[in-house]
Amino acid sequence: MITTQDIQQQTIAELFEQYPFLPGFFEENTLDVDGQINEKLDDFLNILDDEEEKENRAMDKTQVMESMAEYITQMLAFLGEDEDEGVNSITLLPGTNKSGEKEKFEELTINKSEIVCIVGPTGSGKSRLLADIEWVAQNDTPTSRTILVNGEKGDKKWRVTSGHKLVAQLSQNMNFVMDLSVYEFLELHAQSRLVEDVEGIINKIFEQANNLAGEKFSLDTPITSLSGGQSRALMIADTAILSKSPIILIDEIENAGIDRKKALELLVGEEKIVLMATHDPILALMGDRRIVIKNGGIHKVIETSGDEQNLLSELERMDNVIQNMRTRLRHGEIIRQEDIGF
């Protein structure tokens, strides 16, 4: 824990040296240190003691100092976490469905690099399940479910701290809204995660994204002008590599302009726990298991069987037939019997 006493007598230069992330705090709080870098923090912040400055900036010295100490404490904790403090598994313990009946499973553990699909009609309780996981429910949500992290009662830090979110989400409705190039966008995200080798990470994500995307894009393409498939590819590569959240929830991936199989392989390779809400048979069979939701509760857990997995290659062939016809149509060609190839 860093307290205000620890920082107030140091110069700003010393603080920046010690805490390389601190300039961002000054920047976001509109504190301009130009030419005052060698002043003691305490003296520098004296400007805020002046009534008029305080009014104009709407900040007071004590508040800024406390806030800074809290920020340093958080960032140090964030940087100090190493891999083995990571999430290796989550476990669901049953609650009840909308009629108050116990859910039909005993204990469900999902390990990293596993893909679990969630199926069930709209309104059946898929979002509630997800919300329970995100909130590490401890028998304190409407379903009375309990979620364990690494087999233990989950830490409440997952609930409300911005650097610790258990679940990252990807859905078809999501778009990029920032006015940035691919490079600037990845740089911004990497910086906010306090990554050391920013350049290396950008290249890695960029390469992976292009590997997933049907049509290639470049680092200076504005993110808002990427096609649907390219956006999806960049979102998935970025989330796989740069998001700190150990669990990724995917709400369908449309089969257009992106290699979905490679996308899932990337997420699994980055040791994510993948939850996928989908009714697409190809995606569903790529999962290790399927959770069936009915009437607000988990009704069944189905292992993807060997037989089902064998069907996958056949399904993929059918899918290719359709994709191929699409391409032919686009190029003004005629669809023929042999295109179906059965």
Within 268-327, the residues that bind another protein by CB under 8 A are none
Rounded to a whole number of angstroms, the minimum distance from the CB of residue 12 to another protein is: 17
The candidate with the shortest Cα–Cα distance to 115, out of 264, 292, 260, 252, is 264
| Residue (22 or 284) nearer to another protein, CB | 22
| Residue (232 or 290) nearer to another protein, CB | 232
Within 73-92, the residues that bind another protein by CB under 8 A are 74
Q: Which stretch binds another protein (CB under 8 A): 61-69, 93-101, 306-314, 324-332?
A: 61-69
Considering only 124, 146, 210, 239, the residue that binds another protein (CB under 8 A) is: 239
For 4, 53, 74, 83, 270, the CA distances from 80, given in Å and listed in that order, are 21, 37, 10, 10, 20
Sheet order of strands, 167-171 included: 167-171, 247-251, 273-277, 115-119, 289-294, 297-303
Q: Which stretch binds another protein (CB under 8 A): 123-131, 263-271, 294-302, 309-317?
A: 123-131
Within 218-237, the residues that bind another protein by CB under 8 A are 231, 235
How far, in Å, CA of 130 to CA of 166, rounded? Answer: 11
Q: Which stretch binds another protein (CB under 8 A): 137-145, 281-289, 291-299, 331-339?
A: 137-145
How far, in Å, CA of 55 to CA of 240, rounded? Answer: 44
| Residue (27 or 333) nearer to another protein, CB | 27
How far, in Å, CA of 129 to CA of 48, rounded? Answer: 47
| Residue (68 or 285) nearer to another protein, CB | 68
The candidate with the shortest Cα–Cα distance to 248, out of 279, 226, 273, 215, is 273
Q: SS3 of 42, please?
A: helix
- Residue 91 CB-half CA count within 13 A: 10
How far, in Å, CA of 302 to CA of 319, rounded? Answer: 24
Rounded to a whole number of angstroms, the minimum distance from the CB of residue 148 to another protein is: 18
| Residue (151 or 200) nearer to another protein, CB | 200
Rounded to a whole number of angstroms, the minimum distance from the CB of residue 172 to another protein is: 10
243 sits near another protein (criterion: CB under 8 A): yes
Considering only 10, 16, 40, 142, the residue that binds another protein (CB under 8 A) is: 142
Q: What is the DSSP string of 294-335?
A: ETTEEEEEEEPPHHHHHHHHHHHHHHHHHHHHHHHHHTTPPP
Considering only 168, 264, 276, 284, the residue that binds another protein (CB under 8 A) is: 168
Amino acid at 14: E
Q: In this structure, what DSSP letter does residue 49 have?
A: G
| Residue (74 or 324) nearer to another protein, CB | 74
Beta bridge pairs of residue 148: 91, 153
With 0-12 CB in 10 A as exposed, 13-18 as middle and 19+ as buried, what is 7?
Answer: buried
- For 149-166, b/e burial (b = at least 16 CB within 10 A) is beeeebeeebeeeeebbb
Considering only 11, 169, 227, 324, the residue that binds another protein (CB under 8 A) is: 169
Rounded to a whole number of angstroms, the minimum distance from the CB of residue 60 to another protein is: 8
Considering only 24, 222, 257, 281, the residue that binds another protein (CB under 8 A) is: 24
**Runs of H (alpha helix) within 58-166:** 61-80, 126-134, 157-160
Rounded to a whole number of angstroms, the minimum distance from the CB of residue 175 to another protein is: 6
127 sits near another protein (criterion: CB under 8 A): yes
Considering only 16, 105, 176, 183, the residue that binds another protein (CB under 8 A) is: 176
Residues that bind another protein (CB under 8 A): 24-25, 27-30, 34, 55, 58-60, 63, 66-67, 70-71, 74, 127, 130-131, 134-135, 140-142, 159-163, 165, 168-171, 173-178, 185, 188-189, 192-193, 231, 235, 238-239, 242-244
